[in-house]
Amino acid sequence: KNEVEQSPQNLTAQEGEFITINCSYSVGISALHWLQQHPGGGIVSLFMLSSGKKKHGRLIATINIQEKHSSLHITASHPRDSAVYICAVSQVTSGSRLTFGEGTQLTVNP
Amino acid sequence: EPEVTQTPSHQVTQMGQEVILRCVPISNHLYFYWYRQILGQKVEFLVSFYNNEISEKSEIFDDQFSVERPDGSNFTLKIRSTKLEDSAMYFCASSEAPRVGQYFGPGTRLLVL
């Protein structure tokens, strides 16, 4: 079983829709990261969370430590949001290395 | 905005050859990382580096791999004798401190023939 599980694997939305991507983890963490991977392969860090909620523009990330679950929400989605969204965790037992989920491929159609 | 850079962007090599992948981390960062992503798979941790030594490595990071910070700016990953299964995208990352946000480079796509 993967330590970090994401759902859905693939998500197709129409422009303007509200999008939710979920991440569950099975290990003790010091932080959870949401990352965006562009079609060319580059990775951009979106959020790092250890509790509560963070917002940046149209992106919102939440984490529930008790339930070992995080969500990434995109409001008013746009075709330029199309990318792979990756959840990764810093485990309590393994220093600063990141353990990655499989990613969610998001496609937003105009 | 400061960024992590990597060279080359693409490298094609023959099996058994040595390759060196180069990274220039963000200048005030002290923690450096290499990750790899085999096509169609998730990103995997290879190694972390701090204070001129390896602080952590994964089971993937065997004797064929080494890392070095040869000067004040570059951080390199060397694969001594490449195998077909080393074909992947290799990402360098850096951070100011442990357990904070990591900044990723654009990656080097390595193809071993």
Judge: A96–B31 Cβ closer than 8 Å, yes or no: yes
Residue A68: name the closest of A84, A47, A104, A92 by CA: A92
pLDDT in tens, A28-63: 999 999 999 988 888 999 999 999 999 999 999 999
- CA distances to A20, A69, A82, B71, B111 from A10, in Å: 12, 19, 11, 43, 27
> 3-state DSSP call for residue B85?
helix
pLDDT (tens, 9 = 90+) of chain B, 113 residues, equals: 789 999 999 999 999 999 999 999 999 999 999 999 999 999 999 999 999 999 999 999 999 999 999 887 899 999 999 999 999 999 999 999 887 889 999 999 999 99
Report the C-alpha gap between A65 and A71 in whole angstroms.
12
Judge: B107–A102 Cβ closer than 8 Å, yes or no: no
Q: Give the mean pLDDT of chain A.
A: 94
Q: Give the mean pLDDT of chain B.
A: 94
Residue A85, token pair as written in the block: 């969204």
Which chain B residues touch A31 with a CB distance below 8 Å?
Answer: 99
pLDDT in tens, A88-97: 999 888 778 9
Which chain B residues touch A99 with a CB distance below 8 Å?
Answer: 45
Q: Which of residues 43-62 of B touch A (CB under 8 A)?
A: 43-45, 48, 55-56, 58
> 3-state DSSP call for residue A13?
strand
- Smallest CA–CA distance, residue A100 to chain B, in Å, is 6
